[in-house]
Structure 1
């Protein structure tokens, strides 16, 4: 096995409980109202370790009801970069623009340019996995080409007991 980065997301594999904190309206940059909810996820390896997939399930997302999503992550050994796609029941038949990046010193940062609510935004995903039983993911948007970032969704992951 190599340590070129392809094992960075090995912590995803298996089951997790997720405590979410999310802005209620990601299309409104002035939104300051947060909602909290629980979810579960299950991650699996793909392509001999060059990828992984996790499912995301919420029994009752406030204001929406049941919600499902998934993340597909693929690793390119030539560039040592990960690409991450997100799909969900919020936008059936579509994948979000992939974010791209890598882990450095235990923190994974992944970036893309996208359009949210008819406005061009920078998107950042950040992953931390300080122990086998705990992980954190954050999503942030930038409206000024990455000078500042507004965190709009935080997931705190714990292993079920």
Structure 2
């Protein structure tokens, strides 16, 4: 239940977000994360200074299912997602799945968290319209401890 303890602290984040196939937008971020409930909950706020927005993530661990539920909110929308991403870690890699609305249609969504070392981590998001048979990565965050 302490899977997200690695994230506690301050981070510099390099974001790469897919604009269209083959074209990526790269921009900076700064994140501050805290742990709660003795490690069974995690909260972070990320600011995107060149985008004029920020976001927050709430993660809560369910000891019965041994899975995390991840919720996101953006300052642009002012709404906490009601459909969480759900999943777990195996070693230093966590996979989480859920549904997103993209361009007006529902798609499967996958997050992958990779803990590289104490001061480096990676998060990526991918969508699938083919029942999880083919994933297209559309956002990558490279975390370096500040």
Question: Structure 1, unaligned stretches of length 5 or more?
Answer: 1-5, 25-29
Cα distance in 2 between the residues matched to 1:75 and 1:94? 17
Task: Give the 4+ runs in structure 1 shifted more than 6 A.
Answer: none
- 1:49 maps to which residue? 39
Question: Structure 2, unaligned stretches of length 5 or more?
Answer: none
Residue 7 of structure 1 pairs with residue 2 of structure 2: yes
Alignment of 1:1-161 (within 5 A): 6-24=1-19, 31-61=21-51, 66-95=52-81, 97-160=83-146
Q: What are the superposed Cα offsets for residues 61-88 of structure 1, whole Å, 9 maximum, x if unpaired? A: 2xxxx11001100000111000000100
Report how far residue 124 of structure 1 moved.
0.3
Report how far residue 94 of structure 1 moved.
3.6
Count residues in correspondence.
Answer: 146
TM-score by length of 2: 0.94
TM-score by length of 1: 0.86
Q: CA RMSD in A?
A: 1.3
Cα distance in 2 between the residues matched to 1:128 and 1:43? 16
Report how far residue 118 of structure 1 moved.
1.2
SS of the equivalent of 1:9 reads helix
Cα distance in 2 between the residues matched to 1:45 and 1:106? 18
Cα distance in 2 between the residues matched to 1:22 and 1:88? 15
